[in-house]
Structure 1
Amino acid sequence: MVKSFQGVRVVEPKKTAAPILVQDHMSTNLVTFFPDDTIDHVLDLLTKRKISGAPVVDQSGNLVGIISEVDCLKEIIKGKYSNTPTFPGTVGEHMTKNVITLKPDLSLFDAAQLFLDKKIRRFPVMKDGKLVGQLSLSDVIRAFPKLKDTTW
């Protein structure tokens, strides 16, 4: 007969995964526009940078709105009716002014839920009243396959 003595067992603390935050997945090298920029300029830059929208800031860098491809469609339709090949309308005329923002320390899962609830494609990220980044729906989608090995 064999007796086994394992001694005192030490219970190791459970490892908790670090929170998955907006700041870890947001874009920080942002294209921004000013309210007096033309829609022509916006369309050109959105196309060149292969993005679908960007924050709008004033001369002091304060967030005043957001402009998207959908907002630009308003000027495109107006140009079609007036038979003008250029789109001289301004960002200030077509931008979304009531912008919902996120904090950088928000959970990426909470941000994902906001994308579903609000049905928009990008959120500016603000810290202490300053624009520090932008989280797009694409950023969230790109983040989750990388997280499949972590504990959610």
Structure 2
Amino acid sequence: MTDAIATVADYMQTDLVTLTADMEIIRAVTVLLDAGVSGACVLDDEGNLVGVLSKRDCLRAALNAAYYKEWGGSVADLMSTELETLEADLDLVSAAQRFVDSSFRRFPVLNEGRLVGQISRTDVLRALSKQWR
């Protein structure tokens, strides 16, 4: 065992489901459900992170669809654009503090401004539980 504290990059998920802002919301819902994920990063044509769409956002669309009897709109209409991210080189203790201070269950991970992964509360807790065994 080493005394070096691991970083976000050591434990982040890199096989990500991503969406585009112009994708129809019903298609995005299907993508999330088929992949078994609770949300996805939204990228523009150049691969820049422009938003995050969660199942909670999708539930808003579902409620609207129940009322109007049809799905409508795009990912851009419902995605969150005020983003909180973590840097890939952030140590796990600092990442854990960010989770404690936030209501988010996962954060997009950036390296030099580019999306490189995603890390969840579970990822950080699992990593820290291994750190000092």
Output the TM-score relative to the length of structure 1: 0.81
| C-alpha distance in 2 between matches for 1:148 and 1:45 | 38
| C-alpha distance in 1 between matches for 2:121 and 2:59 | 20
Give the aligned partner of residue 46 of structure 1.
Answer: 32
Q: Give 1:83 deviation, angstroms.
A: 2.1
Corresponding position: 1:88 with 2:72: yes
Give the aligned partner of residue 18 of structure 1.
Answer: 4
**Pick aligned residue for 1:143 from 117, 127, 130:** 127
5+ residue gaps, structure 2: none
Q: Deviations over 1:2-51 (max 9, x none)?
A: xxxxxxxxxxxxx9611121001101111110001122122212112111
| Greater length-normalized contact order (CA 8 Å, ≥ 6 residues apart) | 2
| C-alpha distance in 1 between matches for 2:120 and 2:25 | 21
Structure 1 or 2: more strand by fraction: 2
Letter in 2 for 1:141: L
Structure 1 or 2: more helix by fraction: 2
**Pick aligned residue for 1:79 from 65, 69, 82:** 65
Check the 8 A contact 2:12/2:117 in 1, yes or no: yes
Check the 8 A contact 2:106/2:121 in 1, yes or no: yes
Check the 8 A contact 2:5/2:131 in 1, yes or no: no
Check the 8 A contact 2:92/2:128 in 1, yes or no: no
| C-alpha distance in 2 between matches for 1:139 and 1:35 | 27
Give the aligned partner of residue 81 of structure 2.
Answer: 97
Give the aligned partner of residue 91 of structure 2.
Answer: 107
Letter in 2 for 1:139: D
Give the aligned partner of residue 70 of structure 1.
Answer: 56
Letter in 1 for 2:100: L
Output the TM-score relative to the length of structure 2: 0.91
**Pick aligned residue for 1:127 from 107, 111, 123:** 111
Q: Which runs of 4+ in 1 moved over 2 A?
A: 141-148
Give the aligned partner of residue 7 of structure 1.
Answer: none
Between Structure 1 and Structure 2, whose CA radius of gyration is higher? 1
Cα pair distance change 1:48/1:141, threshold 3 Å: farther
Residues paired across the two proteins, number: 133
| C-alpha distance in 2 between matches for 1:139 and 1:16 | 19
Describe the SS at the equivalent of 1:33: strand
Cα-Cα RMSD: 1.6
